[in-house]
A and B are shown apart, each in its own frame.
Chain A
Amino acid sequence: MTTDQQERTGTVFDIGYQSYEGTREGRGLAWKTLIIDGVKNGMGIGRGGWAKFLPWLVLSPTIATGLVFAAIAAFFEQLGIEVDTGEGANVIDLPGHEDLTSVISFMILIFAAFVGPELVCPDRRNRVIHLYFVRPITMLDYLGARWCALFILLLAASLLPHITLWVGLLFGVADALGHIQDNWLDIPRFVGNSIVFAIFTTSITIAISSITDRRMIATLIIIGIIMIASIAPGIISIFNPSDTVTELINLIGLIDLSSNIVPSIFFDTYSENYNLNIAIPIVWVILLTIGSIAATWRFYQAQR
């Protein structure tokens, strides 16, 4: 006869070391893991409250701006005043997606300055990077995955306010279908602009973050470069250069470049505002991107 006491008695076996016999996935899984890890680190997911607070503090005004723009349109609609946020005839010309881009680009640059270093600096500071490079991945895999993580974050940060505005306008206007028919072209425009903006901002941010392994110093350097590059054209304009020279110098200013020049190409207003050949800013953005990627590669090669 067994008692209750005996029934509850069990034996714990130490089964010892078990070799892993399952499948081993390739570098694709490493990319996916590093991208997810990068996105989580960037947004402070799985970390302390302060790590979560900072990115959202910088990001929330961009979404709020989209909401405000949509609310303004809805307000005028409620008053029965015909509004136009696209290319139709102007009754009241309310700010649209191009204007939203102008407003939020600076905020997203600041967001990149906080989030970008978070993705790459701690790995070098804590020397975890040495452990990555002895795994079956290459330096290209590591940097590519971190680049993708920041790209995803910046693309999301750039698209979210536009999506907020777009959806807000749909709910705000009386004729939603007519609004879509009139303004559908805005979608590829703001998506295209956001992709290009995210590509070159990601590349520049990662390149600058490669200089130091301290997050806050990298953030300050990025903000400093954004500010100096944006103030420089203003200082040079004191010398009254020609319009062409002024426009060329304006390309240095990252804020002007991302807020006005690049969006004007996507929203088809470039020729109204600039005399410079449209190929020049396009080539400049490509050069900035490639140069930043090359600089990042060199920094990491040297530190390896």
Chain B
Amino acid sequence: MTAFVQPSPLLEARDLTKLYGNVQALDKASFTVGEGITGLLGPNGAGKSTAIRIFLGLTDATSGSALVMGADTRNPEARVRLGYMPEHDCLPPNQSAANFLTHMAEVSGIPPSRSRALAADTLRHVGLFEERYRPIGGYSTGMKQRVKLAQALVHDPILILLDEPTAGLDPTGRTEMLNLIRRIAREFGISVVLSTHLMQDVERTCDNIVLLDLGRVKESADVKSLTQETELVYIEVANNRDEFISELQSRNLQPTLETNAISIPDVDGPKFDAIRDSLVASEARLVRMGPRQRALIDLFRT
């Protein structure tokens, strides 16, 4: 009989704690990151960058352990199939993107005979093939972001860590970058950790989410389950709103008046009938009615 072996997660944090003097950046954070796109979400100071720095082996945890594909982060071999795109500028302005990527591929262990071709391929995938021989210093912000992404991909990693990849981009550039990230995961088969404080980026892009707040893991689940529809129904009417609310109350429903709409909790079959009857009785004109989808922002409210 063959025993089923559970594949180890790509990243694993166990009771990860990091102290900078008296400041606690991470407080016994435990989470795992598997395949697909995982959003590491949290406000500034939540501990996202510290967690990434620990996984990259740039700093040691005060206590707890961090594993990259089952290997200790202090072992350089753990970074052979790991890519990293930092938030800040990190590109040499005098070099061409092609030369820079070739150099980085070689530093990552790709033989010189293959590194130039890999660099050209990677630049093609991020949409910089035509500009690959121009000095990076002359690139736009969006192009520089793409070079930063390309250098994280050039050695064909299994997992890339992206730190605020949409920072400084205009709406079009942001959409393009998020599409590119999705493509990396779906078409290239490279898993992604997207560290950001922008919930929309996570909602639009990620499969899973690790929510950090004040160094603690507040939530760790797949995005769908966190944003699934709730049993709360929103109703917007064009007129007779007060009468409509009175009718609802008379039918033992508990309407709550919000900014533009009325919400009713725990709606099932008979209650939908009661809502219909209330609309008819109050002669209110229905504009919109539907189940409410939770937004990730609600996680911060709980």
Complex contact B109–A136 (CB within 8 A): yes
Cβ of A22: which chain B residues have Cβ within 8 Å of it?
110-111, 114
Give A27's nearest chain B residue, CB to CB.
Answer: B76
Complex contact A136–B108 (CB within 8 A): yes
In the bound complex, how far is the Cα of B103 from the Cα of A274, in angstroms?
Answer: 49
In the bound complex, how far is the Cα of B57 from the Cα of A48, in angstroms?
Answer: 36
Give B157's nearest chain A residue, CB to CB.
Answer: A20
Query: Which among B108, B121, B155 has the greatest number of chain A C-beta atoms within 10 A?
Result: B108
In the bound complex, how far is the Cα of B76 from the Cα of A137, in angstroms?
Answer: 6
| Interface: B56 (CB within 8 A) | yes
Complex contact B151–A24 (CB within 8 A): no
Complex contact A17–B187 (CB within 8 A): yes
Complex contact A133–B103 (CB within 8 A): no
Cβ of A141: which chain B residues have Cβ within 8 Å of it?
76
Interface stretch, picked from A121-129, A218-226, A265-273, is: A121-129
> Per-residue 0/1 for A7-27: is the Cβ within 8 Å of any B Cβ (1 yes, 0 no)?
000000000111110111111
Complex contact A134–B94 (CB within 8 A): no
In the bound complex, how far is the Cα of B85 from the Cα of A130, in angstroms?
Answer: 10
In the bound complex, how far is the Cα of B80 from the Cα of A135, in angstroms?
Answer: 7
| Interface: B13 (CB within 8 A) | no
Chain B 39-81 interface residues, beta-carbon cutoff 8 Å to A: 56-59, 76-80
Complex contact B107–A137 (CB within 8 A): yes
| Interface: A60 (CB within 8 A) | no
Complex contact A130–B90 (CB within 8 A): yes
Cβ of A130: which chain B residues have Cβ within 8 Å of it?
58, 86, 88, 90
Give A140's nearest chain B residue, CB to CB.
Answer: B76
In the bound complex, how far is the Cα of B115 from the Cα of A25, in angstroms?
Answer: 12
State the main secondary structure of chain A at its contact with B: loop
Contacts A136-B77, A138-B76 given; indicate if A30 touches B106 (C-beta within 8 A). yes
> Per-residue 0/1 for B105-133: is the Cβ within 8 Å of any A Cβ (1 yes, 0 no)?
01111111010001001000100000000
Cβ of B111: which chain A residues have Cβ within 8 Å of it?
22-23, 25, 29
Complex contact A126–B109 (CB within 8 A): no
User: What's the least CB distance linking B208 to chain A, in Å?
Assistant: 22
Contacts A127-B90, A134-B82 given; indicate if A17 touches B125 (C-beta within 8 A). yes
| Interface: A88 (CB within 8 A) | no
Interface extent on A, as a size class?
Answer: 20 to 34
Query: Which among A18, A26, A33, A37 has the greatest number of chain B C-beta atoms within 10 A?
Result: A33
> Per-residue 0/1 for A269-304: is the Cβ within 8 Å of any B Cβ (1 yes, 0 no)?
000000000000000000000000000000000001
| Interface: A46 (CB within 8 A) | yes
Residue from the list A23, A133, A137 in contact with B58, Cβ < 8 A: A133
In the bound complex, how far is the Cα of B118 from the Cα of A138, in angstroms?
Answer: 24
Give A131's nearest chain B residue, CB to CB.
Answer: B90
In the bound complex, how far is the Cα of B102 from the Cα of A29, in angstroms?
Answer: 13
User: What's the least CB distance linking B120 to chain A, in Å?
Assistant: 12
Cβ of B59: which chain A residues have Cβ within 8 Å of it?
304
Give B113's nearest chain A residue, CB to CB.
Answer: A22
Contacts A126-B93, A127-B90 given; indicate if A24 touches B107 (C-beta within 8 A). no
Residue from the list A16, A33, A136 in contact with B79, Cβ < 8 A: A136
| Interface: A76 (CB within 8 A) | no
Contacts A24-B109, A29-B106, A137-B107 given; indicate if A131 touches B58 (C-beta within 8 A). no
Residue from the list B88, B90, B107, B112 in contact with A135, Cβ < 8 A: B107
| Interface: B156 (CB within 8 A) | yes
Cβ of A26: which chain B residues have Cβ within 8 Å of it?
109
In the bound complex, how far is the Cα of B93 from the Cα of A16, in angstroms?
Answer: 29
Chain A 1-55 interface residues, beta-carbon cutoff 8 Å to B: 16-20, 22-27, 29-30, 33-34, 37, 46-48
Give A47's nearest chain B residue, CB to CB.
Answer: B94
In the bound complex, how far is the Cα of B112 from the Cα of A177, in angstroms?
Answer: 44
Complex contact A18–B109 (CB within 8 A): no
Complex contact A30–B92 (CB within 8 A): no
User: What's the least CB distance linking B151 to chain A, in Å?
Assistant: 6
Complex contact B155–A20 (CB within 8 A): yes
In the bound complex, how far is the Cα of B78 from the Cα of A30, in angstroms?
Answer: 15
Complex contact A304–B58 (CB within 8 A): yes
Give B161's nearest chain A residue, CB to CB.
Answer: A134
Complex contact B110–A20 (CB within 8 A): yes
Cβ of A122: which chain B residues have Cβ within 8 Å of it?
92
Complex contact B58–A134 (CB within 8 A): yes
Complex contact A128–B91 (CB within 8 A): yes
Known: A24-B109, A27-B109, A133-B58. 18 other contacts (CB 8 A): A17-B189, A20-B155, A24-B155, A30-B108, A33-B103, A33-B107, A48-B94, A126-B91, A126-B92, A131-B90, A133-B57, A135-B79, A135-B104, A136-B79, A136-B80, A137-B76, A137-B107, A141-B76
Return 16 A-B CB contacts under 8 Å, by A number.
A20-B118, A22-B110, A23-B111, A24-B80, A24-B108, A29-B112, A30-B108, A46-B99, A126-B91, A127-B88, A133-B56, A134-B56, A134-B58, A134-B82, A137-B76, A141-B76
A: which residues have CB within 8 A of B? 16-20, 22-27, 29-30, 33-34, 37, 46-48, 122, 126-128, 130-138, 141, 304
B: which residues have CB within 8 A of A? 56-59, 76-80, 82, 84, 86, 88-94, 99, 103-104, 106-112, 114, 118, 121, 125, 151, 155-156, 187-189
